[in-house]
Structure 1
């Protein structure tokens, strides 16, 4: 996504070096539509510079600090030397993340999405989460809840959530569900124990998934899953509950899966 406005002084921007002159370097801004900035030779590097080309080259991607913006003269003054290594690395990663999010928007809404629709959806994600990437990331983790305060319609929300869950990888996602296990049959407590062992996967849970079953209060048990992404976490949670319910029913008992903890008066 490219912004139609102007960068602000002090902002870090990503650009591609387009032209090198003795007095400085012209940079096409990658995040802004039809915007070009100038790095004066004194802002390319610290100290005396004999040859600008010893420090930069055409086509190079750089991170610059915006020094000044003069919209009337269409001029943006930039600095390369005022950006440290940490800022450069962080900004480049942020820019790459936004490029990923651009691709996800295309996956979610198709190549034929109009500029107007794209802009409207993007603005909602930006307003709620600060960036397209973070909007998709939160949708992967929290589903529709991450977008409930936006003005997006149900179809748009569904498209974003589905795409996010298919494509966004987050460090870890935690999900929790509950299963009620009752066994009036002769197997009694032993039958419940077998159902809990089935819920834990009997050693067959994927290595990247941490699954734990704990006692809440008869007949309720909590299933907690930690996984690399939302889709895997939800899948493993439901599979665990299904195993427990099937096992207790095989014992002649009853089982029921639910996402919220029961209260005493339910």
Structure 2
């Protein structure tokens, strides 16, 4: 999706070097429809420049800072030298994510989706998410719940979720904790097994985006591993699992102690 308007001064833009002259570089802006900017030779690189072609080439993708926009003159002034390496990498990643989101929109609603419908769906998503990519990524993680406040009909939500779950690579993090379970009653072994089952939880207690596993380490210690989309979600799930085990074993007359690291005497 290309914007039909104009970029703003100070904005970082991605473009392709279209023409190189003795006085500067013309850049076609990839994110804006039919917009072209000029990067004066003095803004191509720091220091004295003998030959512009020593710094850029035709067809090269560059990140530039918008210095000035004159809509009446149809002129956009750019600077390549004012963009540091961190900004360049961050902007390129943002641009790549935008291209992915555009592709996912076509997968979800067809390559022949008209501009009016595309804009309506995109604007609905952008009302609740910073970017289209963020909307699709969240839908891949949380399903239809992620889009419950977005102004889309059920079919559109289902299309986005299905496309997201088939195409979005969701980042995951892993956290580990340990719980010591003891039960002095005659049927203590069975009570501990029930406490471990409680730790694993059911579908209502463990959302589908979370992978939770409880394994035996060595009496009385049990390991809880959680894989989740982010650390807060993972930590919350880990503590909840330990809490369920603790509640269950204490109800049956036992004790539980949660800790994040292996006990030294169990190493």
* 108-117 or 20-29, which deviates more: 108-117
Distance in structure 1 (CA, Å) of the matches to 2:48 and 2:131? 39
Distance in structure 1 (CA, Å) of the matches to 2:118 and 2:139? 17
Instruction: Give the equivalent residue in structure 1 for 2:182.
Output: none
Instruction: Give the equivalent residue in structure 2 for 1:21.
Output: 21
Q: CA deviation at 1:196?
A: 5.4
Distance in structure 2 (CA, Å) of the matches to 1:225 and 1:166? 23
Matched, 1:106 2:106: yes
SS in structure 1 of the partner of residue 127 of structure 2? helix
SS in structure 2 of the partner of residue 3 of structure 1? coil
Instruction: Give the equivalent residue in structure 2 for 1:211.
Output: 212
Instruction: Give the equivalent residue in structure 1 for 2:118.
Output: 118
Q: Note the alpha carbon deviations across 1:112-156, whole angstroms, 9 max, x for none.
A: 211111111111222211211111011112222222222111111
SS in structure 2 of the partner of residue 101 of structure 1? helix
Distance in structure 2 (CA, Å) of the matches to 1:88 and 1:127? 27
SS in structure 2 of the partner of residue 129 of structure 1? coil
**Mind listing any 5+ residue stretches in structure 1 that lack a counterpart?**
175-186, 201-208, 215-222, 230-266
8 Å CA contact 1:141, 1:173 repeated in 2 = no
Q: CA deviation at 1:105?
A: 0.7
**Could you tell me the TM-score, scaled by structure 1's length?**
0.68
SS in structure 2 of the partner of residue 65 of structure 1? strand
> Quick one: structure 1 residues 228 and 150, their matched pair in 2 at CA, closer, same or farther if it must change by over 3 Å?
closer
Correspondence list, 1:5-44, <5 A: 5-44=5-44
Instruction: Give the equivalent residue in structure 1 for 2:227.
Output: 226
Instruction: Give the equivalent residue in structure 2 for 1:58.
Output: 58
Q: CA deviation at 1:192?
A: 8.6
- Report the number of matched residues: 202
CA RMSD of aligned residues (A): 2.9
> Quick one: structure 1 residues 126 and 8, their matched pair in 2 at CA, closer, same or farther if it must change by over 3 Å?
same
Correspondence list, 1:155-174, <5 A: 155-172=155-172
**Could you tell me the TM-score, scaled by structure 2's length?**
0.68
